[in-house]
Chain A
Amino acid sequence: MPSGYFDCRDSFSHTLEALAEADERIVTVVSDSVGSSKLVNFGKRFPRRQINVGIAEQTVVAVGAGLANGGKVPFVSAASCFLTGRALEQIKADIAYSNVNVKLIGQSSGIAYGELGPTHHSIEDMAWLRLLTNLTIIVPADPWQTEAAIRAAAAHDGPVFVRVSRMPVPALERTNPRFEIGKAETLVEGEDLTIIANGTMVHRAVAAARGLAVEGISARVVNMATMAPLDEAAILASAATGAIVTVEEHNVRGGLGGAVAEFVSTHHPVPMRILGFDGFQPTGTVESLMELAGLTVEGITRAARQVLLKKVQ
C-alpha cells in the first residue's frame, strides 16, 4: 500500500469493535468471510458474538434478519459480489421489505478483485440494491467517512448497506468533517460544472478538479456518499452549474450516474457524462481496468472538458 493510503476495511473493523464494546447487542454474521472482512480480531474479542454460517450467503442474510428479531444489531459482512448477487431475494424480502434493523457490509466491492474477473467484481450491486424501499445505502470515500458511516449505520434504526472497498485510498482533506445519512458533501466549490462521485472515485475527482482549475475551469466536486436516500437538493444545486459528470466504481447503467440522471432529467435537465464500467470487464489489473474505463484523473478531466462543450450557454 502506498504511504498515505488506507484500506477502509480497517476503519470498518476498528470502528465496529469500538461500538461493540459499548453495545452488547452488536454481533457480526459472516459466511466464511472473517479474514476478508478484517473481523479476526472482533472474533477473538467477542467470540460468542461472531456467527459464522459457512459459505451460505442466503443464510448469512436471513440469519441477520432473525438476529434482529431477537433483539440483536447484526452486521452481516461478506464480499459484495456474493452477498448482493447470491442473496438478493433475502435482502429484498427478509431485510428491506420486512424493514428490519440489519446492517449489510458489502466488502471488496467494485473492481477491486481485478484479475479474478467479473464473477468477483461487484459493479452491479448498486443497481440491484438502490431500488429496494427502506434500504439506506452508503458508499464511503475514505477511512474517516467509513468510520462515520459505520457509526451512522449502527445508530440508524433500519436496514443499511455499506459498500466498503479494499482498494487503498488517501484520506480526503475536509474543512468541516461531518457525515449525515442522505447529505452529500461539497469538497471543492465550483461554478462551471459539477463532478458527482462516490467511494474510491472521490479523491480522483478532487485531483481532476484541481487540474481543471489550472486550465481556468471551475469544477465543483460533490461526494454523494449516500446512494439511498439521494440528496436531491445537492443534485439540483449541481444541475444549476449547467453540466454534470458522475464517476463511480460501478457499471455505467443503474448506479450513481443512473440515479442522478433519473432525477436531473425530470427536474432540471443538463448535459451529463456518466463514467463507470461498461459491462463485464476483461482480465486486467485494477489500475489497467480503471484506465480502460476512464476512471482516472485524466479520464475525469477529459469527460469534464467534453461535457462543457455541450453545456447550454
Chain B
Amino acid sequence: MVYEAQLGHPGGDFSSADLLASLYFGVLRFDPKVPNDPRRDRFVMSKGHCTGAFYSALAGAGFFSEDLLDTYMQPMSRLNGHPNRNYLPGVETNTGPLGHGLPVAVGIAIAGQIDGADFRTFVLTGDGEQQEGSNWEAGLTAGHRRLENLTMIIDRNRLQQGARTEDTAGLDPLDDKWRAFGWQVEIIDGHDCQQIYDVLSASPKGRGKPLCVIANTVKGKGVSFMNDNVAWHHGVPNQEQYEQAMRELV
C-alpha cells in the first residue's frame, strides 16, 4: 500500500501489525455487518498515521473489501492518510493529531460504566505519542473512575519521528508512571501473538482499574533494512527495496 501510494508510515505500521492482528482476529467482539452495534467492543486507533496496518486489519476483518486498499491515499479515496469514521465503517473516531485517542476512549468507557454495559474499549497509542499531555489528563480521570473496561496498549518501539524517545523526552520508567496514575500495568512482547492474546482477552471484571499494556515492539519489524531504523518512520521503498521487503515478509 505504501509503495503504491508513494506515501505512508511503514515503520509504525510494522511495529503495530501483530497487535492489530491479535485484536481483530482474536480479542475484539464485533460484527462487521453491524458496525454501529451498541454492544460492540470499541477499538480506537490513536496512532492514526499507521493506517497502512489499520486499514489492512479492518479490511481483513470484513468491514470493507480488500480491493479498497488499492485506493490508499489516492485522490478522493475513502482511505485518507488518517482514518475518518464518516468514510469507513469500523473507525470509531477521527485521529491523526497525537494524544487524541485515549481521552476519547475514556469517554466511551465512562458511557459503558454508566450503563453497566458489557463491551470493552481498547486504544492503541504510539510511545512517542505518550509525550502529549492530553494522555496524562485523561489517564488521571480513567484511574480516578476505576475504568476496568478500558485497556490502553502502548506500541513501545522506542523511536519517534526524529529520534529515540529516550533521547528526546524520555518516557522511562513508563510502567511506574501509569501505576502511579492508578492503572494496572503489564509488559509484553508486542510481536508474540500468544502473549498479546492472553493479556488482552483476560476478563477485566473485578480488576477495579484500567489496564495499560506496554508492548515492546520493533519499528519496521519484519523488514531488515527498516528494523529499528528511525529513517523509516515515514518513507517509501524504491522498487528494489519493495521487492526485498516483500520477500522478507513472506
CB–CB B103/A67 < 8 A? no
Dominant SS among interface residues on chain B:
helix
Contact assessment for A66 and B108 in the assembled complex, using a CB-CB cutoff below 8 Å: yes
A258 to B97, CA, bound (A): 29
Q: Could you say which residues of chain B place their CB within 8 Å of the CB of A72?
A: 111, 114
Is A70's CB under 8 angstroms from B96's CB?
no
Q: How far is the CA of A89 from the CA of B97 in the complex (A)?
A: 8
- B117-138 interface mask toward A, CB cutoff 8 Å, 1 = contact, 0 = none? 1000000000000000110011
Asked if A67 meets B137 with Cβ closer than 8 Å, knowing A93-B96, A99-B86, the reply is: no
- Interface residues contributed by chain B, number (CB under 8 Å): 33
B87-95, B169-177, B232-240: which one contacts chain A? B87-95
The reply on A54 being an interface residue by CB < 8 A is yes
A66 contacts B115, CB within 8 Å?
A: no
* Number of CB contacts from chain A to chain B under 8 A: 107
Q: Distance in Å from the Cβ of B107 to the closest Cβ of chain A?
A: 2
* B112 A70 Cβ-Cβ under 8 A: yes
**A97 close to B (CB within 8 Å):** yes
A289 within 8 A of B: no
Q: Which residue of B lies closest to A51 (CB)?
A: B110
Which of B93, B103, B107, B141 has the most CB atoms of chain A within a 10 A radius of its CB? Answer: B107
Shortest Cβ gap from A246 to chain B (Å): 33
- CB B96 to nearest CB in A, in angstroms, measures 7
CB-defined contacts of B105 to chain A, threshold 8 Å: 66
> Once the chains bind, are B93 and A65 in contact (CB under 8 Å)?
yes
Q: Tell whether B9 is near chain A: CB-to-CB under 8 Å.
A: no
Q: Which residue of B lies closest to A52 (CB)?
A: B141
Given A72-B114, A93-B100, decide whether A66 and B140 contact each other with a Cβ distance below 8 A: no
Instruction: A70-B107, A70-B108, A94-B100 given; name 7 further pairs at CB < 8 Å.
Output: A53-B137, A66-B107, A66-B109, A69-B42, A70-B115, A89-B100, A94-B94
A residues bordering B, Cβ < 8 Å? Answer: 27, 29, 48-49, 51, 53-54, 56, 58-59, 61-72, 74, 89-90, 93-94, 97-100
Q: List 28 A-B contacts (CB under 8 A).
A: A49-B114, A53-B141, A56-B140, A58-B103, A58-B134, A58-B138, A59-B106, A59-B138, A59-B141, A62-B138, A63-B104, A63-B110, A66-B93, A67-B108, A67-B110, A68-B107, A69-B108, A70-B110, A70-B117, A89-B97, A90-B103, A90-B134, A93-B94, A94-B93, A94-B100, A94-B103, A98-B85, A99-B86
